[in-house]
Structure 1
Amino acid sequence: MAAVDAAKVLPKLKSEVATLSQISENEKSGFINLVTRYLSGEAQQVDWSKIQTPTDKVVVPYDSLAPVPEDAAQTKKLLDKLVVLKLNGGLGTTMGCTGPKSVIEVRNGLTFLDLIVIQIETLNAKYGCSVPLLLMNSFNTHDDTAKIIEKYAKSNIEIHTFNQSQYPRLVKEDFTPLPCKGNTGKDAWYPPGHGDVFSSLKNSGKLDALLSKGKEYVFVANSDNLGAVVDLKILSHLIANKNEYCMEVTPKTLADVKGGTLISYEGRVQLLEIAQVPDEHVNEFKSIEKFKIFNTNNLWINLQAIKRLVEADALKMEIIPNPKEVNGVNVLQLETAAGAAIRFFDNAIGINVPRSRFLPVKATSDLLLVQSDLYTLADGFVTRNLARTNPENPSIELGPEFKKVADFLSRFKTIPSIIELDSLKVTGDVWFGAGVTLKGKVTITAKPGEKLEIPDGSVIAGKNITAPGDI
């Protein structure tokens, strides 16, 4: 960071940010605060020798949690303390969609958001409680979401939306806010990561409103994680043990080697991200031997504690610099992650949950898994089919022809049966008929310039297919 002289940059930046009429005073001060911390070069790396593996007291095994009493009145009392908050700021652009990612259809014509609403409706109806749903939007998703949620007006849940902060992108060369360079479009701004959830809850007035209704805990999760459903055992444990913060972690597989992990560090539990790892220890960080768990980004947090820490300006999460290019200009976005806040809360823990609580849909290969017979759907809950004996999901690699949701859907007449599939790799111009079954390790490769159609009803078991004759 030596290239930028903070003493010169900051006064100029403050006066430029003051002229931005598109954002609130809270956003201006939050942004200046973030840049000031970044320029001060706060140490991001950890002292490797001080890292300790957390004990079962710090990362509690899920199986050790007490069962929830079957008394419906007690369960209602528990649930009436809860708020569900879904991070809804992301667009579906990587999957070729416009608008919020949460409105991509997942199963039976239902979107992520439909499933979330159905789950909470089911809970509220079953226990006579009133768990509200909060959606944290970004300026990218706010308008669309406002229209979309009109269809839930008659449901038995309160749905609230609020926006996370809107910050100006910084021109890397001279640390000028991009909007001050004459770019007044949407791409001059960015939402500063989900670590912003705490201050945005407070600034929007939602935090005080929830506390005044007797709410105590918020369950925060990504809207695209189909496994992130309300879990009474976790909620009950946190209330009984007065844990201010809980991060759900789950055992790492080779697909998750870059995910953040929990460590004990100087007497507190802390999130360790790959960006903080000294170069010479990166391979050790990625190994499954030493760091066996990773962060699912399912977080349970005490609302009173959020209020205390935000008001004291005590949540100084590690800053994640995210370089981008906008119309040929190199810009910088400074972001934070909600999981990194764990070290500021008292009596914070991790809970090592089953893998079923982590079912994110980041690409069409994930969509194939959740739309297939590998999962069943009931009351908004997507559950693993018991007919699958292998605890691991099949690994699926689809070529670029399948990247966009519309293309993906057009290339399958129906989603194949994959109960007995170990792995699937598809390359080239491949089209699937109806009622196809895939088993074992399957590779399907269309030769360049050729279209390869898999006929209706085909059963392909442990084969490498490059031509119709191979089927």
Structure 2
Amino acid sequence: MADEKLAKLREATAGLTQISENEKSGFLSLVGRYLSGDEEHIEWAKIHTPTDEVVVPYDTLESPPEGTEATKKLLDKLAVLKLNGGLGTTMGCTGPKSVIEVRNGFTFLDLIVIQIESLNKKYGSNVPLLLMNSFNTHDDTLKIVEKYTNSSIEIHTFNQSQYPRVVADEFLPWPSKGKTDKDGWYPPGHGDIFPSLMNSGKLDLLLSQGKEYVFIANSDNLGAIVDMKILNHLIHKQNEYCMEVTPKTLADVKGGTLISYEGRVQLLEIAQVPDAHVNEFKSIEKFKIFNTNNLWVNLKAIKRLVEADALKMEIIPNPKEVDGVKVLQLETAAGAAIRFFDHAIGINVPRSRFLPVKATSDLQLVQSDLYTLVDGFVTRNSARTNPSNPSIELGPEFKKVGSFLGRFKSIPSIVELDSLKVSGDVWFGSGIVLKGKVTITAKPGVKLEIPDGAVIGNKDISGPEDL
């Protein structure tokens, strides 16, 4: 039955003119693996907590050799790659998420460019920036990067694969059934980075420039900056792959974690966990770390494994309903590739290297006095003594960036804030200070304005009388 399905799908895929032969074979290989059901199942009893040799504590890393020349030598072996395929739709923006303004009028992309420019300028190095787009962000990104034409860094863009969504009940590619616009297609997750880097020709280009490692990170993670200690360690120890992990808090219970499994280091995602063990997986006692998706990978190793078609990452089935049609898209994650590389390790990094902006509540954190901006680097205010950030929950009125910005005359001071919960039609004046635990709830149909200069500490506010 599976063979019949695959044969029909292969025939229909052959007629799709919008994608390359490489994309067709990648897609069919993924579907073939999915249909054969040969996914490895994790045996819970075989899971072990990784040792410090496998997940190296950051503070045990040696400092790289001193001096501009030594640092330049290290940096010249590096390329930086940002995953730029995501749209800002959840935050109410059209176009790539990386062009949302983060702070002082700078977008994610501006900050990334400024960071690499200041590194190259300081050390006389040539660290290039690569952006992996999806077909959703490609055209916009090409226009956006034009503004960096006078920049001193080499910027390369390339597209990740474009695969057809599969109509669930007939198991045929949706574009072959007439859905030829963007909705008929999908980008197959960031695990696709390895073949796409190769197919685009960028991998060979980097190797010809003498590059050895690529630092891969999400474009919305403001903490994912080049780290000389990590780079030095990998070159010194010849690790082909490194995943940055960081201690889990209750907010990260769903994040993938690293385990030792049958003698290799492996990523364990919540989707792979048997139902009986989900609570154990989410506990922060047994699984203390999670994947930040900051990855350092050896370029020659990528070439070797892609050419051997050896990267068989776990398949993530993602069923969706689009225009009333049930479709299936199969994806993979770059972190799951860790088990195919030699001498792969995790490094347990400080939380400051994980500062993603997934929602406007994250934007409030990075726009506040909790952070400062120097040379494109977002640095935490040392006046905050609590090592963890305040937890912020904003109601649906704040979900879109435009409405969020409109509701704050200026972003309140939150250096001494523990938690903030806002719901209803709430508007903030300027120069407000929030401390401790604050809850602000506007009654239905009532506009609640927090006046300029208000100082609110450990309070529940539901009307002007509580201020």
With the shorter chain as reference, the TM-score category is over 0.9
Tell me if structure 2 keeps the 8 A contact 1:44–1:276: no
Distance 2:438 2:171 in 1: 51
Pairing 1:120–2:121 present: no
**How far is the alpha carbon of 1:469 from its aligned partner?**
1.2
Partner letter of residue 250 of structure 1? Answer: T
Structure 2 residue runs of 5 or longer lacking an equivalent are none
Distance 2:255 2:38 in 1: 22
State the match for 2:219 in structure 1: 223
Tell me if structure 2 keeps the 8 A contact 1:131–1:157: yes
Distance 2:22 2:398 in 1: 42
State the match for 2:126 in structure 1: 130
Alignment of 1:21-420 (within 5 A): 21-420=17-416
**How far is the alpha carbon of 1:45 from its aligned partner?**
2.8
Distance 1:175 1:109 in 2: 47
Partner letter of residue 178 of structure 2? Answer: G
Structure 1 residue runs of 5 or longer lacking an equivalent are none
**How far is the alpha carbon of 1:156 from its aligned partner?**
0.8
Distance 1:381 1:139 in 2: 29
Structure 1, 159-168 or 37-46: larger mean CA deviation: 37-46
Among residues 448, 454, 457, which one is paired with 2:444 in the alignment?
A: 448
- 1:112-147 per-residue CA deviation (whole Å, 9 max, x = no partner) reads 000000000000000000000000000000000000
Tell me if structure 2 keeps the 8 A contact 1:45–1:277: no
- 1:255-298 per-residue CA deviation (whole Å, 9 max, x = no partner) reads 00000000000010000000000110000000000000000000
Distance 1:430 1:181 in 2: 48
Partner letter of residue 306 of structure 1? Answer: I
Tell me if structure 2 keeps the 8 A contact 1:437–1:458: yes
Distance 1:108 1:325 in 2: 39
Q: TM-score when scaled to structure 1?
A: 0.99
Distance 1:191 1:42 in 2: 23
- 1:10-48 per-residue CA deviation (whole Å, 9 max, x = no partner) reads 111001000100000000000000000000112343000
Partner letter of residue 8 of structure 1? Answer: E
Partner letter of residue 97 of structure 1? Answer: C
Partner letter of residue 187 of structure 1? Answer: D
Distance 2:311 2:329 in 1: 19
**How far is the alpha carbon of 1:181 from its aligned partner?**
1.4
- 1:191-233 per-residue CA deviation (whole Å, 9 max, x = no partner) reads 0000000000000000001101100000000000000000000
* Residue correspondences, number: 467
Q: Which runs of 4+ in 1 moved over 4 A?
A: none
Percent of pairs with identical residues: 80
Secondary structure of the residue that 1:463 maps to in structure 2? strand
**How far is the alpha carbon of 1:8 from its aligned partner?**
1.4
Among residues 417, 431, 442, which one is paired with 1:435 in the alignment?
A: 431
Partner letter of residue 362 of structure 1? Answer: K
Partner letter of residue 13 of structure 2? Answer: V
Distance 1:20 1:326 in 2: 20
**How far is the alpha carbon of 1:464 from its aligned partner?**
0.3
Distance 1:392 1:204 in 2: 40
Distance 1:181 1:95 in 2: 32
Tell me if structure 2 keeps the 8 A contact 1:252–1:288: yes
Tell me if structure 2 keeps the 8 A contact 1:84–1:131: yes
Distance 2:90 2:442 in 1: 24
Q: What is the root-mean-square deviation in Å for CA atoms of aligned residues? A: 0.5
- 1:83-128 per-residue CA deviation (whole Å, 9 max, x = no partner) reads 0000000000000000000000000000000000000000000000
Partner letter of residue 396 of structure 2? Answer: P
Partner letter of residue 439 of structure 2? Answer: T
- 1:312-351 per-residue CA deviation (whole Å, 9 max, x = no partner) reads 0000000000011110000011000000000000000000
Partner letter of residue 180 of structure 1? Answer: S
Partner letter of residue 242 of structure 2? Answer: C
Secondary structure of the residue that 1:462 maps to in structure 2? strand
Secondary structure of the residue that 1:439 maps to in structure 2? strand
